[in-house]
Each structure stands twice: as C-alpha cells, then as structure tokens.
Amino acid sequence: MSIAQNIERITAQLPHGVRLVAVSKFHPVEKIMEAYGAGQRIFGENRAQELAAKAPQLPTDIEWHFIGHLQKNKVRMIMPWASTIQSIDSVELLKLVNKEAARVNRHVNVLLQLHVAKEQTKSGFTVEEALKAADEGAFNDLSHVTIAGVMAMATFTSDMDQVASEFELVHDTFLTLRDKHFAGDPHFKEISMGMSDDWHIAVKHGASLVRIGTDIFGAREY
C-alpha cells in the first residue's frame, strides 16, 4: 500500500479525537510530502539535526513534534520548528526549554515523558518522580511552556498483556496528575502512546495521540 493509503487506513480506524503523529524519522522529505498530500499535518522526528534539516524544506502548516531524547545543547536547534516537545524527561530540561522559548519569544507545548517500560535504556520520569516533581511545584510558573499531558513508550515485547498494563499505568498517572495538579487546566489533555505494533491497544487505554512510523512509511533504512 502507498503512504497515502496507509494514512487513510489508519486515520479511518482512529476514534474521534485521537490524532495521528506520522513519525518520519530517517525518511526523506519526498515521503513526508506524500503523507502531507494525503492530508497528514502532524509529523514526529526524534533527532534534532534531522528536524532542523527537513523542516525548512517543507510546508509551514506542518505541526512538528519532537519525540526523541533531547540533549540540552540541542534545545536551541529545534526551538524554531517544534510546536510540541513530547519527550521532556527531567525538570532541568523543562526549565531549559522554557528559558530558550522565552529567549526567542516563542511558546512551546510539551509532554512529560513517563518511564513505564522495563528497559533501562528508555528515558522519562518514573511515576513517582513525576508526582514528586508536581508536588514540589516544578510544573508551575512556566511562562513560555504549556504542559499539555504525558507521553510514554511500552516495553518492546510480544506480551501484549504487559503492554496493556503499562498503558493502563500511563492513563492512571495522567488522571492523577490532572486531578491533583492540573485541575481546571484545559490544556492538560494529551496522552501520547502507541506505535506501529501496539497503537490499537494504546487507543483502548485512552491515547489521544498515536505515534506511527513503520506502519505508514515502511521500514527505516539506518
């Protein structure tokens, strides 16, 4: 199937209100334009240099989401392009993003990345760390950042019960944060979870954003 057909097939299966982030990492701008031609407007990239190289060549109404581990010295590089940084994994990074956004007078949406997977290589706040940071006020008083929700990746496993229980934990944590710390804040509404192999499960557990690469663009060539 073509990229356009894949976009249409997936979008047709998403419940109302769930948005697709087309993960275009490692794929050339021509392929992104194919997805764009099918109506796709939200794209995800996980490397700063790659985002900064591709974005200027593409239409300005694309909404870029940064989804990879963000090194502190790369924040400035993505600031002109990223409308949402999904992968905020520490309070220091959050503060730096706010500072850099203020410096260039931009406003950026962010998601708090939660570490729920079994792999140590994945980054993010543990549930306890996220709740503690919230208790300590780390998510308050950010002038140029809007915390719009949470993001997570499940363990890379064929055990779909485990994946489901991790998504469940993300959903519960989202609700706890929302009710305790973002009560009455309409911006705190996103749960970004689900990739090519597990997005159906993520949607069942309350995802509002799914991040899909392979199922749209085919295998990546590294």
Six-digit token pair at 4?
């356009």
Q: Kindly tell me which of 43 and 139 has the beta carbon lying closer to ligand PLP.
A: 43
d(CA 82, CA 45) in angstroms, rounded, equals 9
b (16+ CB within 10 A) / e for 28-64:
eeebbebbbebebebbbbbbbebbbebbeebeeebeb
Q: Kindly tell me which of 115 and 181 has the beta carbon lying closer to ligand PLP.
A: 115
Q: What are the beta bridge partners of residue 112? A: 88, 150
Start-end of H helices in 71-159: 75-78, 91-103, 127-135
Establish if 212 lies at the interface with ligand PLP (CB under 6 A): yes
- The DSSP output letter for 81 is T
Q: Kindly tell me which of 26 and 144 has the beta carbon lying closer to ligand PLP.
A: 26
For the purposes of burial, counting CB atoms within 10 Å of the CB of 108, is it exposed (0-12), middle (13-18) or buried (19 or more)? buried
Strands 42-45 and 63-66: parallel
Near ligand PLP by CB under 6 A, which window of 50-58, 103-111, 122-130, 210-218? 210-218
Establish if 191 lies at the interface with ligand PLP (CB under 6 A): no
- CA-nearest of 99, 92, 76, 157 to 125 is 92
Establish if 195 lies at the interface with ligand PLP (CB under 6 A): yes
Residues 38-97 touching ligand PLP, rule: CB under 6 A, are 46, 67-68
Q: Kindly tell me which of 64 and 181 has the beta carbon lying closer to ligand PLP.
A: 64
Q: Report, in Å, the least distance between residue 37 CB and ligand PLP.
A: 20
| Residue 21 DSSP SS3 | strand
Contact mark string toward ligand PLP, 166..185, x via CB under 6 A: --------------------
Q: Kindly tell me which of 97 and 154 has the beta carbon lying closer to ligand PLP.
A: 154
Establish if 165 lies at the interface with ligand PLP (CB under 6 A): no
Establish if 196 lies at the interface with ligand PLP (CB under 6 A): yes
Contact mark string toward ligand PLP, 19..48, x via CB under 6 A: ----x-x--------------------x--
d(CA 210, CA 195) in angstroms, rounded, equals 6
Q: Kindly tell me which of 163 and 181 has the beta carbon lying closer to ligand PLP.
A: 163
Residue number with the smallest Cβ distance to ligand PLP: 213
Which residues are at the interface with ligand PLP (CB under 6 A)? Answer: 23, 25, 46, 67-68, 153, 195-196, 211-215
